Amino acid sequence: MKAFQILLAILITGILIYTGITGFQHGWNLFPIFFGDIAAMTWSGQFNFDFSCFLILSGLWLAWRNNFSLGGLALGALGIVGGIMLLAPYLLFISFKSKGDMKEFFLGKERANR
């Protein structure tokens, strides 16, 4: 678990730095570029569509793990938009909260204790 936590910390740091540099150099209006590539049916668009599918699955897992509560639904929606910038800190948080219990880590406390 410690190696996973270190990896998450590296991912968090890396994506924050990369996003900051990109945003300041190219602006913060990502969505027209992202969806424009999908609409253009290019390889960049194919990658973006594939990535969107992963984001949707990530958001569904976040909402499911939190029992589709109001907070879970909000977390899921943020996960779809925020990607690894939301998911990695969340995973880091629950890795400490679950104290290495992988069943609780993946399922949440309520499902893990059934």
77-92 pLDDT tens trace? 999 999 999 999 999 9
CA angle 95, 97, 101 (to 5 degrees): 65
Structural domain boundaries of the chain? 2-112
Structure-token pair, residue 74: 């909000």
Q: What pLDDT does residue 59 have? A: 98
Contact 90, 75 (CB under 8 A): yes
| pTM (global) more than 0.85 | yes
pLDDT-based confidence at 54, cuts 50/70/90? very high
Contact 45, 37 (CB under 8 A): yes
Q: What pLDDT does residue 114 have? A: 86
Can you give the chain as a three-state secondary structure string?
A: CHHHHHHHHHHHHHHHHHHHHHHHHHCCCHHHHHHHHHHCCCHHHHHHHHHHHHHHHHHHHHHHHCCCCHHHHHHHHHHHHHCHHHHHHHHHHHHHHCCCCHHHHHHCHHHHCC
